[in-house]
């Protein structure tokens, strides 16, 4: 029936079945030549399609807040393309592992056979004793026959080998998981390094921009003095060349900032042109650096490094390979169950079952399997030796990293002392200028020296921060997940106090740098810190309520205030810990704490005002936050900065307001803010002159 059906189709379309083969050959050749001619054109079109697809998949993000390092690391771990590739490899290996486990199932085969002969399978028989041929010709099967069969075979030896191979596949999957872990750890380290470079270069570019104006003024003054013959031309030209070289060097910081920002964007896999800002961070004087417990770090590294886990899995894979080679030397027994059906009408029974056991062994393959067992044993020893080499390299890496960390810490401490001296020298120079006892040129030289000294200190501070992340990476800590502090053995050095260069407070550039001057807010980092970015200790030791405080420290643990208003007053306390605890208690109180913080908005203490704004920004509702409107006109650029951020977070608007702009440039934006906040504003906060 099927035969006649297909024959009718071919005859209707092609005339006869004899024309099918020539037509198929002609079609195949035409397709081949057309494919060769259009290969290049198709590739060009494919490339264009891929370009559009790749661009559409690029991450186009808009960051509403400046990035801190922890956010940058978390974002990079989620969207970095290299990390995604490793994640995809892990998913592929997971499916391969599933496939290996399915190989443990028995073999179940179904068969169907259809036969149509042109003649009957007829035959004669010969008598064995007489040798006579039978006169009658007979047949025992028809021209057309059909048979069906289902055959179940379970090879016991293959089952054992497949089980060991499935375990090897699971270990391969675990190896890829450890590679993925290490990729994430290295990515977090690279992002943290790029973040600190970008932060230093961005800060340097802003400070350099503030200096460029003063250097240009000095350059124009030298040119005018040479024209007026107030100075000798050789001395003037020498000074002019020196100032031009300085301008070129200062302008390079802008390009360095752009390059470091592009580098960080690359680690975050951001599409080109994505705009983002970094969270402002201070570079305080360092008072302490941690000396880590080397033995504790070595123990943690030997228990945590992904490379050592990989070697453990490889050793187990090698052991399973040896077992597989031993099993292959044994006979291969199989149990089978077969169900068959035949439509031959001459048969007594048209269906039947067959059950049996069979075993086979390739005796000539035994020598090869014996050599494979020996080779596997040698590979196992090789893996053990390699694991020892990797472990030794990790321990050496820890020692070298700690040496580099200590070197960076000592350099940072030395530069902090030099920076204090340089800052004091500039203060003396500024005083002499005010008294008319030295020139503005000398003040500019002192400011430039202070700038480059401060730049060196920022770079040294960033190196210390990067080395701390390097220590975490060396011991194999997972980024973001690991919050425990590194094991500290003792403090190795102490330095000065918190510091901000005096040159940044001079009138000629205060406007440009006001927005980047850090807020002196207590941060719970360091030895007892819980943040991912583990910064050195910068203030005196802290004590928790209820602890015994040594009398010589002068520390004080406050009592519990009776009201939120009393807590708000403590925002102006000169002791860092007390003010920080007051801020946290107001935050815990939510909206009521934010309303209590409004009482400190008009405080003469800048730090108390900033803490109050931060409380309102995080805990206050729209009605409370709207009372910060007058701060947009405040004389303190730092107050304007935090007030504008709080309003932007609460209402999702900025109306083009920028705290560093001149008063005339801010007027239009403030007017728009006043109109927008008229339903909310009640006149609580007043700007300070």
Residue pair 292/487 in contact (Cβ under 8 Å)? The answer is: yes
pTM of the model: 0.61
Alpha helix locations (H) across 533-630?
564-569, 576-588, 591-597, 606-619, 622-625
Neighbours of 497 (CB within 10 A): 11
Measured between alpha carbons, how far is 81 from 60 in angstroms, rounded to an integer? 14
Would you state the pLDDT for residue 19? 52
Share of the chain above pLDDT 90, in %: 13
Measured between alpha carbons, how far is 485 from 526 in angstroms, rounded to an integer? 8
Would you state the pLDDT for residue 27? 60
Would you state the pLDDT for residue 20? 55
Tell me how far CA of residue 138 lies from CA of 121, 123, 135, 145, in angstroms: 9, 6, 10, 17
Would you state the pLDDT for residue 401? 92
Would you state the pLDDT for residue 122? 81
Residue pair 601/687 in contact (Cβ under 8 Å)? The answer is: no
Grouping H, G, I as helix, E, B as strand and the rest as coil, residue 437 is coil
Spell 328-358 as b/e; 16+ CB within 10 A means b: bbeebebebebeeebeeeeeeeeeeeeeeee
Q: Which CB contacts under 8 angstroms, 24+ apart, belong to 518-524?
A: 518/280, 518/281, 518/282, 518/283, 519/280, 519/282, 519/607, 519/610, 519/638, 519/642, 520/282, 520/576, 520/607, 521/580, 521/607, 521/610, 521/611, 521/614, 522/576, 522/577, 522/579, 522/580, 524/580
Phi-psi region of 229 (alpha: psi -120 to 50; beta: other; left: phi over 0): left
Most distant CA pair in the chain: distance in Å? 147
DSSP states of 119-143: S--EE--B-TTT-PBPSS-EESS-S
**Interval 182-213: pLDDT, tens:** 999 999 999 999 999 999 999 899 889 888 88
Would you state the pLDDT for residue 76? 86
Distance, CA of 618 to chain centre: 27
Spell 57-82 as b/e; 16+ CB within 10 A means b: eeeeeeeeeebbbbebbbbbbeebee
Residue pair 518/281 in contact (Cβ under 8 Å)? The answer is: yes
34 vs 352, higher pLDDT: 352
Measured between alpha carbons, how far is 486 from 488 in angstroms, rounded to an integer? 6
Residue pair 180/80 in contact (Cβ under 8 Å)? The answer is: no
Q: How confident is the model at residue 645 (pLDDT cuts 50, 70, 90)?
A: confident
Grouping H, G, I as helix, E, B as strand and the rest as coil, residue 439 is coil
Would you state the pLDDT for residue 287? 66
Spell 644-665 as b/e; 16+ CB within 10 A means b: bbbbbebbeeebebebeeeeee
Instruction: Phi first, then psi: give them for residue 171, nearest 5 degrees.
Output: -70, -35
- Pick the range with the lowest mean pLDDT from 55-64, 176-185, 584-593, 631-640: 55-64
Measured between alpha carbons, how far is 321 from 372 in angstroms, rounded to an integer? 9
Measured between alpha carbons, how far is 613 from 623 in angstroms, rounded to an integer? 14
**Interval 327-347: pLDDT, tens:** 888 888 888 888 888 888 888
**Interval 515-526: pLDDT, tens:** 343 333 333 322
Angle at 103 between CA 99 and CA 108, to 5 degrees: 125
pLDDT at 491 over 60: no
Q: How confident is the model at residue 528 (pLDDT cuts 50, 70, 90)?
A: very low
- Half-sphere exposure in the Cβ direction for 577 (13 Å, CA): 15
Would you state the pLDDT for residue 394? 92
Measured between alpha carbons, how far is 437 from 448 in angstroms, rounded to an integer? 20
Report the pLDDT averaged over residues 44-67. Answer: 68
- Pick the range with the lowest mean pLDDT from 18-27, 277-286, 654-663: 18-27
pLDDT at 627 over 60: yes
Residue 248 gets which letter from DSSP?
Answer: H
Would you state the pLDDT for residue 7? 53
Spell 95-125 as b/e; 16+ CB within 10 A means b: eebeebeeeeeeeeeeeeeeeeeeeeeeeee
Mean pLDDT score of the chain: 77
DSSP states of 486-548: PPEEEEEE--------GGGGSTTTHHHHGGGSPP------GGG--SSS-PPP-SSPP--TTS-
Q: Which CB contacts under 8 angstroms, 24+ apart, belong to 375-379?
A: 376/318, 376/321, 376/322, 376/325, 377/322, 379/318, 379/321
Find the helix packing angle between 69-79 and 81-102, rounded to 10°: 50
Residue pair 201/347 in contact (Cβ under 8 Å)? The answer is: no
**Interval 102-153: pLDDT, tens:** 888 888 888 888 888 888 888 888 888 888 887 788 878 888 888 888 988 8
Per-domain boundaries in the chain: 561-689
Q: What is the dihedral of CA 51, 52, 54, 60, to 10 degrees?
A: 130
Measured between alpha carbons, how far is 98 from 299 in angstroms, rounded to an integer? 35
Task: Estimate the share of the chain in helix, then strand, then coil, as percent rounded to the nearest 5.
Answer: 65, 10, 25
Q: How confident is the model at residue 557 (pLDDT cuts 50, 70, 90)?
A: very low
What the block records as the tokens of 513 is: 């740098």
What the block records as the tokens of 683 is: 């006149």
Report the pLDDT averaged over residues 270-284. Answer: 76
Spell 293-307 as b/e; 16+ CB within 10 A means b: eeeebbebbeebbbb
Instruction: Phi first, then psi: give them for residue 123, nearest 5 degrees.
Output: -155, 160
Angle at 358 between CA 353 and CA 361, to 5 degrees: 155
Compute the residue count for the chain.
689
Tell me how far CA of residue 141 lies from CA of 37, 133, 145, 524, in angstroms: 55, 21, 8, 93
Would you state the pLDDT for residue 31? 56
């Amino acid at each position: 029936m099927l035969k006649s059906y297909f024959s009718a189709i071919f005859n209707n379309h092609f005339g006869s079945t004899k024309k099918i083969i020539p037509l198929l050959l002609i079609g195949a050749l035409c397709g081949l030549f057309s494919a060769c001619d259009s290969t290049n054109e198709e590739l060009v079109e494919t490339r264009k399609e891929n370009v559009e697809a790749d661009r559409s998949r690029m991450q186009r993000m808009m960051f509403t807040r400046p990035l801190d390092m922890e956010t940058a690391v978390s974002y990079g771990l989620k969207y970095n393309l290299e990390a995604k590739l490793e994640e995809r490899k892990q998913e592929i290996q997971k499916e391969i592992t599933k496939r290996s486990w399915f190989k443990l199932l028995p073999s179940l085969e179904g068969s169907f056979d259809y036969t149509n002969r042109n003649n009957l399978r007829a035959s004669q028989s010969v008598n064995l004793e007489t040798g006579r041929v039978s006169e009658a010709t007979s047949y025992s099967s028809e021209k057309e026959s059909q048979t069906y069969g289902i055959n179940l075979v379970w090879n016991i030896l293959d089952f054992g080998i497949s089980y060991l191979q499935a375990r090897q596949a699971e270990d391969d999957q675990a190896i890829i998981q450890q590679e993925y872990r290490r990729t994430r750890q290295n990515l977090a380290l690279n992002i943290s390094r790029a973040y600190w470079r970008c932060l230093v270069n961005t800060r340097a570019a802003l400070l350099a921009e503030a200096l460029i104006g003063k250097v240009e003024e000095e350059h124009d003054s030298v040119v005018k003095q040479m024209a007026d013959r107030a100075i000798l031309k050789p001395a003037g030209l020498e000074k002019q060349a020196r100032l031009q070289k300085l301008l070129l060097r200062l302008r390079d910081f802008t390009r360095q900032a752009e390059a470091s920002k592009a580098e960080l964007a690359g680690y975050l896999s951001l599409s080109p042109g994505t705009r983002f800002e970094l969270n402002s961070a201070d570079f305080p004087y360092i008072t302490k650096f941690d000396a880590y417990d080397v033995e504790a770090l070595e123990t943690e590294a030997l228990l945590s490094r992904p490379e050592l886990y990989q070697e453990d899995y490889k050793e187990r894979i090698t052991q399973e390979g040896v077992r597989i080679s031993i099993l292959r030397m044994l006979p291969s027994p199989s149990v089978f169950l077969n169900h068959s059906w035949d439509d031959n009408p001459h048969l007594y029974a048209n269906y039947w079952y067959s059950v049996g056991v069979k075993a086979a062994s390739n005796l000539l393959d035994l020598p090869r399997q014996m050599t494979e067992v020996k080779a596997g044993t040698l590979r196992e020893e090789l893996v053990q030796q390699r694991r020892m080499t990797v472990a030794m390299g990790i321990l050496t890496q820890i020692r070298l990293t700690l040496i580099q960390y200590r070197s960076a810490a000592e350099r940072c401490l030395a530069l902090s002392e030099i920076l204090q001296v340089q800052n004091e020298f500039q203060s003396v120079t500024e005083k002499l200028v005010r008294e008319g006892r030295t020139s503005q040129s000398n003040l500019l030289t002192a400011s430039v020296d202070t700038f480059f000294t401060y730049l060196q200190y920022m770079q040294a501070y960033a190196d210390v921060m990067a080395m701390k992340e390097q220590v975490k990476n060396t011991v194999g800590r997972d980024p973001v997940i690991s919050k425990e502090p590194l094991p500290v053995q003792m403090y190795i050095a102490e330095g000065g106090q918190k510091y901000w260069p005096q040159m940044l407070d001079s009138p000629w550039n205060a406007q440009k740098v006001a927005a980047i001057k850090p807020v002196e807010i207590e941060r719970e980092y360091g030895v007892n810190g819980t943040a991912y970015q583990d910064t050195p200790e910068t203030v005196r030791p802290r004590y928790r309520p209820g602890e015994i405080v040594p009398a010589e420290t002068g520390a004080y643990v406050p009592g519990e205030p009776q009201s939120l208003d009393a807590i708000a007053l403590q925002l102006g306390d000169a002791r860092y810990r007390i003010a920080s605890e007051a801020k946290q208690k107001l935050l815990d109180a939510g909206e009521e704490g934010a309303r209590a913080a409004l009482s400190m908005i008009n405080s003469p203490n800048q730090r108390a005002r900033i803490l109050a704004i931060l409380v309102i920004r995080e805990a206050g509702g729209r009605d409370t936050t709207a009372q910060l409107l007058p701060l947009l006109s405040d004389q303190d650029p730092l107050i304007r900065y935090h007030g504008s951020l709080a309003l932007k977070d609460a209402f999702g608007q900025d109306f083009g307001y920028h705290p560093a702009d001149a008063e005339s440039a801010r007027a239009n934006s403030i007017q728009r803010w006043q109109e927008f906040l008229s339903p909310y504003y009640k006149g609580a906060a007043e700007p300070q002159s």
